[in-house]
C-alpha cells in the first residue's frame, strides 16, 4: 500500500474493509464464470502448464515454405518493389526505404514492438518504438544456414526459428531483444530509420 501512496492504516478501517468485501462478493455473484476462469488460470500459470494467453490464438502471418515464392508474391503486391517489408503480425506490406514507415506501422499494428521481414535483406527486423535491430532470418538453405541477401541458393522456412519469433512476440520480449541486440551488436540502425 505504501508504494501507491495509500496510508498503511486503511486495513484497520472497518468501513472500508466491509465496503471492499461487499463489492468483491457482489462482483463474484454476478460474474461467477469469470472468477472460476481466473482461479483456473492462476493454477495453470503457477504450475507452468500455460504457455500462451487463453481466449484467442496469437499467431504470426502464414508465410510460404519457399523464400522464392514469398519474393514472387511480394513483388506482385508491393508498389515499391525494391524496398519492401512484410509485417509478420498483420501481413501488411510496408516500404522500408528509410522513411520510418515500419515503426509508424508498428505503432498502430502492435504497440511498443514490431516484427517485419525485410525482403531484399532476407532478414527479420525487430522494432521497439523508433529503435530497431536485425534478427536472424527464419529462411535457411538446405543445410540450415541463413543467407544474408540470398545468394541464389534456395531458401526454405524453418518452423522452429519462426516459432521462436512467435514466442518472443507472445511473451512481449521483442523490446528486450531489441535492447540486447543494439547493446551487443555491431549493426546499429539509426533511430527512426525503418
pLDDT in tens, 94-115: 888 878 888 888 888 887 788 9
Residue that is written with C-alpha cell 543467407 in the block: 147
In this prediction, residue 94 carries a pLDDT of 87
Separation between Cα atoms, residue 31 and residue 36, nearest integer Å: 9
Read off the C-alpha cell for 154: 534456395
Q: H helices within the chain, ranges in order?
A: 14-30, 32-46, 67-77, 101-109, 159-170, 174-184
In this prediction, residue 149 carries a pLDDT of 59
In this prediction, residue 3 carries a pLDDT of 45
Q: What confidence tens digit (pLDDT) does each residue in 132-143 have?
A: 888 888 888 887
pTM of the model: 0.66
Centroid of chain to Cα 102: 14
Angle at 149 between CA 115 and CA 97, to 5 degrees: 55
Q: Which residues of the chain have pLDDT under 70?
A: 1-12, 27-28, 30-57, 79-82, 147-152, 186-188, 190, 192-194
- From 171, 169, 144, 147, select the one nearest 158 (Cα to Cα): 144
Taking a C-beta distance cutoff of 8 angstroms, is the pair 83, 94 a contact?
Answer: no
- From 74, 160, 88, select the one nearest 120 (Cα to Cα): 74
Read off the C-alpha cell for 93: 506490406
Separation between Cα atoms, residue 39 and residue 77, nearest integer Å: 47
In this prediction, residue 123 carries a pLDDT of 87
In this prediction, residue 59 carries a pLDDT of 80
Axis-axis angle for helices 14-30, 32-46 (nearest 10):
100
In this prediction, residue 7 carries a pLDDT of 59
In this prediction, residue 79 carries a pLDDT of 63
Amino acid at each position: 500500500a505504501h508504494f501507491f501512496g495509500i496510508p498503511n492504516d486503511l486495513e484497520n478501517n472497518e468501513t472500508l474493509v466491509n465496503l471492499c468485501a461487499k463489492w468483491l462478493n457482489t462482483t463474484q455473484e454476478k460474474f461467477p464464470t469469470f472468477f472460476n476462469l481466473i482461479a483456473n488460470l492462476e493454477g495453470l500459470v503457477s504450475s507452468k502448464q500455460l504457455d500462451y494467453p487463453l481466449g484467442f490464438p496469437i499467431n504470426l502471418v502464414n508465410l510460404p515454405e519457399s523464400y522464392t515464392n514469398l519474393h514472387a508474391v511480394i513483388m506482385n503486391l508491393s508498389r515499391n518493389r525494391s524496398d519492401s517489408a512484410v509485417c509478420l503480425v498483420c501481413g501488411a506490406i510496408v516500404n522500408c526505404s528509410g522513411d520510418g514507415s515500419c515503426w509508424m506501422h508498428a505503432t498502430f499494428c502492435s504497440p511498443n514492438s514490431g516484427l517485419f521481414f525485410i525482403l531484399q535483406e532476407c532478414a527479420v527486423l525487430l522494432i521497439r518504438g523508433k529503435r530497431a535491430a536485425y534478427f536472424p532470418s527464419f529462411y535457411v538453405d538446405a543445410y540450415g544456414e541463413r543467407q544474408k541477401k540470398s545468394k541464389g541458393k534456395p531458401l526454405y522456412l524453418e518452423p522452429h526459428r519462426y516459432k521462436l519469433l512467435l514466442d518472443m512476440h507472445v511473451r512481449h520480449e521483442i523490446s528486450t531483444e531489441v535492447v540486447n541486440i543494439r547493446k551487443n551488436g555491431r549493426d546499429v540502425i539509426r533511430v527512426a530509420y525503418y
